[in-house]
């Protein structure tokens, strides 16, 4: 083989390998520098962005703080007024609470005084009732009498005498201490007869009750008083009760109807009821007592 060819053959592979190595080193060095530059640029850009962001945030915060300060400056007088108003309200509430406490104490005191006065009034009313009842203990009352407006005292005495004869009692005109008819616009009046003794009164009351029991179909009427006008008008003879006792007797009779009480009567100006023969006798003292009996 010629020497020229031999050299040529051996030189080409070496040149190729040399070129490849040189190329690779060059590319590697160039890429490495490029990447470093890019990272450096990116860092710088990030720093700039962060700096801008921080500056923007600081600016926003500063603006917000200034606005808040302005708002607080405006609100401060309002808050001061509110605090002042609240303090005034608290003082007013404290004053009203104190006044309320004083009023409550005063009301309690007045209630105690009112209770004592009511108790005293009740005692006085009971005493007055006793005096009135005692003053009527010899009186009887003839109810539902059809009399003329100008009936005389003698005519009333004659009525009483006629009734006493009908009842077959020992009555005498001298037993009458006083007699009169009640006032009013009604054609039927009550005749009040005051006798000289409770014994005489009780005798007539007992005789009238016995007569009506024996003559259930022909009970006492106006004709038994000698009255010719409306002679069949029924008359009722009983005690001359005080206004309070009359009211209680009226309510007791209503209690008898509504609650089934068998007995209801008066004795010496007092009102009594009884449920039946086996029940205890109840004396009626007040309307409240009757209301309680109705609700039981």
Q: What is the pLDDT along the chain (296 residues), one digit of tens a residue?
A: 444 444 444 444 454 444 555 555 544 555 555 666 777 877 888 888 888 888 888 888 888 888 888 887 887 788 888 888 888 898 889 989 999 999 999 999 999 999 999 999 989 999 999 999 999 999 999 999 987 767 889 999 999 999 999 999 988 899 999 999 988 667 788 999 999 999 999 999 999 999 999 999 999 999 999 998 889 999 999 999 999 999 999 999 999 989 989 999 999 999 999 999 999 999 999 999 999 999 88
The domain locations on the chain are 41-135, 136-240, 242-296
Integer CA distances (angstroms), 58 to 43, 97, 287, in order: 22, 54, 89
Whether domain 136-240 has CATH 3.90.1150.10: no
Predicted model pTM: 0.62
CA 176 to chain CA centroid, nearest Å:
55
Dist CA 29 CA 159 (whole Å): 158
CB 246 within 8 A of CB 266: no
CB atoms within 10 A of CB 290: 22
Query: Are 272 and 257 within 8 A, CB to CB?
Result: no
CB neighbour list of residue 177: distance below 8 Å, 6 or more residues apart: 138, 194, 195, 196
| Residue partners of 51: CB distance under 8 A and separation at least 6 | none
Quote the CA–CA distance of 247 and 250 in Å, as a whole number: 5
């Amino acid at each position: 083989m010629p020497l020229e060819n031999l050299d040529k053959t051996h030189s080409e592979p070496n040149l190729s390998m040399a070129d490849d190595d040189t190329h690779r080193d060059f590319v590697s060095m160039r890429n490495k520098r490029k990447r470093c530059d890019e990272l450096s640029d990116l860092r710088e850009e990030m720093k700039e962005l962060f700096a801008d962001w921080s500056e923007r945030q600081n600016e926003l915060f500063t603006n917000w703080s200034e606005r808040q300060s302005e708002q607080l400056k405006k609100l401060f007088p309002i808050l001061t007024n509110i605090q002042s108003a609240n303090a005034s309200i608290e003082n007013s509430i404290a004053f009203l609470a104190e006044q309320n406490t004083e009023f409550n104490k005063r009301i309690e005191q007045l209630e105690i005084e009112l209770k004592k006065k009511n108790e005293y009034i009740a005692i006085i009313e009971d005493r007055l009732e006793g005096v009135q009842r005692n003053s009527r203990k010899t009186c009887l009352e003839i109810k539902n009498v059809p009399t003329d407006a100008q009936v005389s005292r003698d005519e009333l005495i004659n009525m009483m005498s006629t009734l006493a004869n009908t009842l077959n009692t020992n009555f005498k005109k001298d037993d009458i201490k006083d007699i009169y008819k009640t006032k009013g616009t009604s054609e039927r009046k009550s005749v009040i007869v005051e006798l000289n003794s409770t014994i005489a009164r009780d005798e007539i009351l007992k005789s009238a009750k016995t007569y009506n029991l024996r003559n259930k179909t022909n009970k006492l009427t106006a004709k038994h008083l000698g009255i010719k006008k409306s002679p069949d008008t029924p008359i009722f003879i009983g005690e001359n009760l005080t206004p309070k006792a009359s009211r209680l007797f009226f309510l007791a009779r209503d209690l008898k109807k509504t609650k089934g009480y068998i007995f209801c009567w008066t004795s010496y100006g007092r009102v009594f009821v009884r449920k039946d023969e086996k029940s205890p006798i109840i004396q009626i003292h007040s309307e409240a007592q009757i209301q309680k009996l109705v609700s039981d």
